[in-house]
């Protein structure tokens, strides 16, 4: 593709299978709407990942639509949908990817005795038949078929040899061995790959893939062990998001292979300069900021605090730095634009930050940028990113915040009056509260007609100073559904209201339900 990868392309390389939009999105609070998934998929294409797992088509109409739209939004990577071994799953996955430039399907079934007995209530023969049947069915329509032995790391190796042999015979082209529960230790996980590659007939005709979860903090180490034993695909997510403790982190595993190429002898084709923009975009979209000490992309990943370290780095960078921040796409100067910057410079900066300018209403975004410049002396990259993602968030909304008035003093009870547009109709409500944000949230709940549990509420100043854009992320839970919302504004109460409205829109999308306002709503 057009992106300038700094490494020469080799024929033998490790394919990067990104599952941020499927396994990543599955974790609580990481739900994304279709537009957000498309924006991320386009960024993943710039990152030059080889495969995008866009969702689990049969699981909901929303997932089906996401896979279909992502399949058409990118042209370089393979786009695939997850599928169980059932007929309706396989057919739905095939339909969802049919318009992709490079379509694929990812069929899985658990193979460990513990899953067979307690989850599937199937015996080994039934599972082998189901796997072979599903791969055979998919092969009638598609060449690119990945098959996964779920819970491979706790499966009897000889039984897994039988399953893999049969699905390869039926047409699977990639065999994935997941450490579904994050239970494996690198040495044994590596041995499992060596054993399977030695024993399975046709092993040399397929690509072996590792999919590791991080329950013991070993997902990256296990993936590298698999590569050392012949795996040529790693399944991972941006920022390591995913079920429970998360999946193997894309940025960590890619940079480990690049930094230690002396030992690994093989690399991915990822355009590493797009790592930082990808990480920031995802953090913005899901409202989960990257921990400061997160390897590669955390704020402190390249910060040297100790005097001895600072002294060393000033004398010679490599005394304490094993990677160059610029190789990850970390801007050396985060101060970017100001009041006098033109539209062209603004649009260029958006592109550098990984934003697809075709998908943004540039006039509107530029207007908001200028308004922000009037409020703030210094506008940073993260301010711009927040501003544009906030704009994208509001475009497909069912609920829209129209007006917010709050009042509080040391002698009066905080009070909020809120007006929202609900499917085009303006509605207002007011409420007292235990603080202005609480009053505002209670008024919004009245309009939306729900009373969810607020499970998380985090305020973060995006950049320094009391005039900084504030970013609020909240997580609400209603009737078993957990959704997160984000909002950014220079006024914290306003940012809080935007975050809640964003969460409500996601809840609405998730439930496809009508939320009815309470009786005191005007």
Q: Kindly state the helix (H) or strand (E) to which residue 311 belongs, with its residue range.
A: helix 307-315
329 binds, among Zn ion, ligand KIV, none (CB under 5 to 8 A by kind): none
Question: Is the four-CA dihedral 134, 139, 145, 146 of positive or negative sign?
Answer: positive
Nearer to ligand KIV, 55 or 354 (CB): 55
150 binds, among ligand KIV, Zn ion, none (CB under 5 to 8 A by kind): ligand KIV
43: tokens are: 């960024």
108 binds, among ligand KIV, Zn ion, none (CB under 5 to 8 A by kind): ligand KIV
Q: From CA 336, how far away is CA 424, in angstroms rounded? A: 37
Smallest separation, CB 236 to ligand KIV (Å): 12
84 binds ligand KIV (CB under 6 A): no
Contact positions with ligand KIV (CB under 6 A) in 144-173: 148, 150
Torsion angle of alpha carbons 15, 20, 22, 28, nearest 10°? 150
148 binds, among Zn ion, ligand KIV, none (CB under 5 to 8 A by kind): ligand KIV
Smallest separation, CB 234 to ligand KIV (Å): 13
Nearer to ligand KIV, 74 or 82 (CB): 82
115 binds ligand KIV (CB under 6 A): no
Residue of 42, 69, 211, 273 interacting with ligand KIV (CB under 6 A): 211
Tell which phi-psi region holds residue 240, choosing left (phi > 0), alpha (psi between -120 and 50) or beta. left
Nearer to ligand KIV, 177 or 507 (CB): 177
Residue of 17, 64, 108, 276 interacting with ligand KIV (CB under 6 A): 108
Nearer to ligand KIV, 82 or 142 (CB): 82
Nearer to ligand KIV, 17 or 441 (CB): 17
Nearer to ligand KIV, 152 or 392 (CB): 152
Which of 296, 279, 388, 288 lies closest to 337, judged by CA?
Answer: 388
Contact positions with ligand KIV (CB under 6 A) in 64-83: 82
Smallest separation, CB 23 to Zn ion (Å): 4
Longest CA span, the chain:
79
Binding residues vs Zn ion (CB under 5 A):
23
Q: From CA 147, how far away is CA 133, in angstroms rounded? A: 12
DSSP character for 456? E
Q: Kindly state the helix (H) or strand (E) to which residue 87 belongs, with its residue range.
A: helix 87-97
What is the DSSP track for 315-340? H-GGGT-SS-HHHHT--S--EEE-TT
């Amino acid at each position: 593709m057009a992106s300038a990868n700094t490494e020469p392309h080799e024929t033998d390389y490790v394919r990067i299978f990104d599952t941020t939009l499927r396994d990543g999105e599955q974790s609580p609070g990481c739900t994304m709407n279709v537009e957000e998934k498309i924006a991320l998929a386009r960024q993943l294409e710039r990152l030059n990942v080889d495969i995008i797992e866009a969702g689990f088509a049969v699981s909901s109409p929303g997932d089906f639509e996401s896979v279909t739209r992502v399949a058409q939004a990118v042209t370089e990577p393979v786009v695939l949908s997850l599928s169980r071994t059932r007929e309706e799953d396989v057919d739905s996955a095939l339909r969802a990817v049919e318009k992709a430039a490079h379509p694929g399907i990812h069929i899985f079934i658990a193979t460990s005795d513990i899953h067979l007995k307690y989850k599937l209530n199937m015996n080994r023969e039934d599972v082998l038949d189901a796997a072979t049947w599903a791969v055979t069915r998919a092969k009638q329509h598609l060449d690119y078929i990945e098959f996964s032995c779920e819970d491979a790391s706790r499966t009897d190796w000889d039984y897994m040899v039988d399953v893999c042999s049969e699905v390869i015979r039926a047409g699977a082209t990639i065999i994935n061995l997941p450490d579904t529960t994050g239970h494996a230790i690198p040495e044994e996980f590596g041995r499992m790959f060596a054993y399977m590659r030695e024993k399975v007939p046709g092993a040399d005709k397929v690509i072996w893939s590792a999919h590791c979860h991080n329950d013991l903090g070993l997902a990256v180490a296990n993936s590298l062990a698999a590569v050392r034993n012949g795996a040529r695909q790693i399944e991972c997510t941006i920022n390591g998001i995913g079920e429970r403790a998360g999946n193997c982190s894309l940025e960590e595993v890619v940079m480990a292979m690049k930094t230690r190429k002396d030992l690994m002898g093989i690399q991915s084709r990822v355009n590493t300069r797009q790592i930082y923009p990808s990480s920031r975009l995802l953090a913005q979209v899901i409202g989960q900021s990257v921990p400061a000490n997160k390897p590669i992309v955390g704020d402190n990943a390249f910060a040297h605090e100790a005097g001895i370290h600072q002294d060393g780095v000033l004398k010679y960078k490599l005394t304490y730095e094993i990677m160059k921040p610029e190789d990850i796409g970390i801007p050396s100067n985060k101060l970017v634009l100001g009041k006098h910057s033109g539209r062209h410079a603004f649009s260029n900066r958006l592109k550098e930050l990984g934003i697809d300018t075709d998908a943004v209403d540039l006039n509107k975004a530029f207007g908001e940028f200028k308004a922000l410049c009037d409020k703030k002396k210094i506008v940073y990259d993260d301010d711009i990113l927040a501003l544009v993602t906030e704009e994208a968030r509001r475009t497909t909304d069912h609920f829209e915040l129209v007006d917010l008035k709050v009042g509080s003093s040391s002698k009066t009870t905080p009070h909020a009056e809120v007006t929202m547009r609900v499917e085009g109709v303006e509605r207002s409500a007011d409420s007292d509260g235990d603080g202005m944000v609480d009053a505002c949230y209670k008024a919004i709940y009245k309009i939306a007609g729900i009373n969810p549990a607020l499970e998380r509420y985090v305020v973060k100043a995006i950049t320094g100073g009391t005039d900084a854009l504030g970013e609020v992320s909240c997580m609400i839970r209603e009737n078993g559904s957990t959704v997160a919302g984000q909002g950014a504004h220079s006024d914290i109460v306003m940012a809080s209201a935007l975050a809640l409205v964003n969460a409500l829109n996601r809840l609405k999308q998730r439930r496809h339900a009508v939320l009815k306002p309470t009786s005191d709503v005007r």
